[in-house]
Amino acid sequence: MTYENILREDRDGIAMISVNRPDKLNALNAQTIGELQHAFDELAEDESIAAVILTGTGEKAFVAGADIGELVHQTSITARPLAMKGQRLMDTIESTPKPVVAAVNGFALGGGCELALACHMRFASDNALMGLPEVTLGIIPGYGGTQRLPRIVGKGRAMELILTAKPIDAAEALRIGLVNKVFPQSELMAATEKIVRKVMSAGPVAVRFALDAVNHGTEMPLQDGLNYEATFFGLLAATTDLKEGMGAFLEKRPPKFTGN
């Protein structure tokens, strides 16, 4: 597929996906959502890729929000399918069996914030601004924001951010746990890649199982989640990566994981 609104660059096992609509501050329209959906469907099956970094082109915006020029024409008939299309993309990103990390390089508002929320980790530039301003437009977040934000920052803080529609800066996002780390704008991409490569140095099967255990186990009652975790723990005991990882530790050498 030829993309018009996103870019993909592969760097030694990392897929760099950039939303590329700088004239619109990388706003999400239906075409961009479709292109991202196609890209992440492919990435989930691409054995040459171990991790994904998602960002926006330029220094002003990760994704400034939904494309209001397109959104204003929605009706009660078309709006729900649009929301479900956006939700499907966010679900796909969250369930990708390899780490997906957001490099939030500027505005991440509305649909852009929801896109970042779907990623497994979020790193922000010091000029980032994040929020869900939808109620000021007479709508609510429709791509998962009302569900993922409270799971990340807690119900009270999520209510405040959604109901006041007030965006927060990178320092506040870090304080409430919305982002994992904050870096100077000029260092964001290099710092994010360094962290992602640290994750990639671990056992790939263990990383995949850990993602699954956290994503799905935390949606279960505690005992069910613990059983889910124990199942993965048991499955990993049969892998050669476990033997390699523990052998390398005992022999005081770097491990050489094969994903088996």
Catalytic machinery residues? 114, 134
Hey, what amino acid is at 50?
A
Non-local CB neighbours of 164 within 8 Å, separated by 6+ positions: none
- Number of helices and strands (H, E) in the chain? 11, 10
- Residue 215 CA: distances (Å) to CA of 91, 92, 118: 11, 12, 11
Q: Which amino acid is at 192?
A: T
CA distance 88 to 139: 19
Coil/strand/helix, residue 176: coil
**Which residue type does 90 have?**
M
Decide: 104 and 122 in contact? Cβ < 8 Å.
yes
Are the C-beta atoms of residues 101 and 131 closer than 8 Å to each other? no
Give residues with Cβ within 8 angstroms of 170, minimum separation 6: 104, 124, 125, 126, 127, 128, 129, 130, 179, 182
Three-state secondary structure along 210-231? HHHHHHHHCCCCHHHHHHHHHH
